[in-house]
């Protein structure tokens, strides 16, 4: 039986591994963004260190799932901005391996952003993942419910999340927790990696 607990600094390597292993629409994508270390610095550490209501599902010392969130973007931005120049310099110097795949991914993030809901109404957002070997056991539902309750206790009035039309299991989970589809947009972001454009969606919930 997995134990849900607040995420801690010591969980950074395990969360990074799970996040990196599911980056390609829930699957491993070693050619999409090869460096796990850089992925953790850019997409995991800011949430773990400056986010809110972060949770992990742990069983016998193994992290099987996580949810990372932020009550607003400001804290994440203030954490990441001063660190970006050094990270980019190390990237260009080859410290994380060949720079091109990483630069291509990061550039596409800027060029093809997904739809967003108004931050004044839905200031919080989240990222969630469950190890494929542990899916279907209710871990995602438990993590999300715990996260939402934490946001309510903090007085956050709304939360949004991003997913894709192809992620049917995740969409069912969000619906079961009271989220609704706010906007959708066909995006070419994943086309080079997935073989075709994907419909990106933003889902919202009032708290």
Cα 78 to Cα 46, 50, 102, 111, 156, distances in angstroms: 9, 9, 22, 22, 20
pLDDT tens, position by position, 112-137:
999 999 999 999 999 999 999 999 99
Which residue, among 178, 176, 200, has the nearest Cα to 188 in the 3D structure?
200
pLDDT tens, position by position, 2-21:
899 999 999 999 999 999 99
Structure tokens at 169: 């299991």
Residues of the chain with pLDDT under 70: none
- Residue pair 20/33 in contact (Cβ under 8 Å)? The answer is yes
User: Checking DSSP bridges between strand 3-6 and strand 55-59, what pairing results, if any?
Assistant: antiparallel
Q: 3: which strand partners? A: 58
Tell me, what's the pLDDT at 166?
Answer: 85
* pTM of the model as a whole: 0.95
């Amino acid at each position: 039986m997995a134990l849900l607990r607040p995420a801690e600094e010591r969980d950074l390597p395990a969360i990074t591994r799970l996040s990196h292993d599911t980056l390609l629409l829930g699957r491993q994508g070693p050619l999409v963004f090869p460096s796990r270390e850089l992925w953790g610095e850019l997409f995991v550490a800011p949430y773990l260190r400056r986010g809110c209501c972060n949770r992990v599902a742990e069983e016998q010392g193994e992290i099987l799932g996580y949810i990372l969130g932020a009550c607003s973007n400001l804290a994440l931005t203030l954490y990441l901005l001063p660190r970006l120049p050094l990270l980019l310099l190390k990237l260009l110097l080859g410290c994380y391996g060949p720079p091109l795949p990483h630069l291509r991914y990061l550039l596409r993030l800027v060029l093809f952003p997904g739809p967003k809901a108004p931050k004044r109404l839905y200031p919080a957002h989240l990222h969630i993942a469950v190890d494929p070997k542990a899916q279907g056991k209710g871990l995602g539902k438990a993590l999300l419910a715990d996260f939402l309750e934490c946001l309510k206790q903090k007085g956050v009035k709304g939360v949004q999340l991003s997913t894709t039309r192809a992620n049917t299991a995740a969409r069912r989970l969000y619906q079961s927790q009271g989220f609704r589809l706010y906007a959708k947009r066909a995006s070419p972001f994943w086309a080079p990696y997935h073989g075709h454009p994907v419909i990106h969606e933003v889902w919202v919930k009032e708290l």
